[in-house]
Chains A and B, each alone.
Chain A
Amino acid sequence: MVVELYLDLLCQPCRSVYIFAKKNNIPFEFKHVELLKGEHLCEEFDKVNLLRKVPALRDGNFTLAESIAILLYLSRKFNTPDHWYPSDVQKRARVDEYLSWQHTAIRAQGCNFYRTKVLMPLLVGKPFPAERLERAVEDLKSTMKQFEEKFLQDKPFIVGSEISLADLMAIAELMQALGAGWDVFEGRPKLTEWRHRVEEAIGKELFREAHEVKRDGAKMFVDAPNETQRLTWC
Chain B
Amino acid sequence: MVVELYLDLLSQPCRAVYIFAKKNNIPFEFKDVVLFKGQHMSEEFGKVNPLRKVPALKDEAFTLAENTAILLYLSRKFNTPDHWYPSDGQKRAKVDEYLSWQHTAIRAQGSKVFLIKALVPLLMDKPFPPEKLEGAIEELNSTLKQFEEKFLQGKLFIVGNEISLADLVALVELMQPVGAGYDVFEGSPKLAEWRHRVEEAIGKELFQQAHEAILNVKDMAAAAAQLDPQLKEKLKQLLQKNLK
Q: Interface of A with B (CB < 8 Å)?
A: 50-51, 62, 64-70, 72-73, 76-77, 89-90, 92-94, 96-97, 99-101, 103-104, 108, 146, 149-150
Contact = CB atoms under 8 A, between A and B. Distances in A.
A77 B62 CA distance: 30
Interface of B: 50-51, 62, 64-70, 72-73, 76-77, 89-90, 92-94, 96-97, 99-101, 103-104, 108, 146, 149-150
Q: Which 4 A-B pairs give the minimum distances between C-beta atoms? A: A96-B69, A69-B96, A103-B103, A100-B66
18 contacts: A50-B146, A50-B150, A51-B146, A51-B150, A62-B93, A65-B97, A69-B93, A73-B93, A76-B92, A93-B64, A97-B64, A99-B100, A100-B66, A100-B103, A103-B103, A108-B104, A146-B51, A150-B51
A72 B103 contact: no
Given A76-B89, A77-B89, A93-B73, A65 B62 contact: no
Given A93-B62, A93-B73, A100-B67, 20 more contacts: A50-B149, A62-B90, A64-B94, A65-B101, A66-B96, A69-B100, A72-B93, A73-B93, A73-B96, A89-B73, A93-B69, A96-B66, A96-B69, A96-B73, A97-B65, A97-B69, A99-B68, A104-B103, A104-B108, A150-B51
B66 A72 contact: no
Given A100-B69, A150-B51, A51 B101 contact: yes
B50 to A, nearest CB: 5
B100 A68 contact: yes
Given A62-B90, A66-B97, A104-B104, A93 B51 contact: no
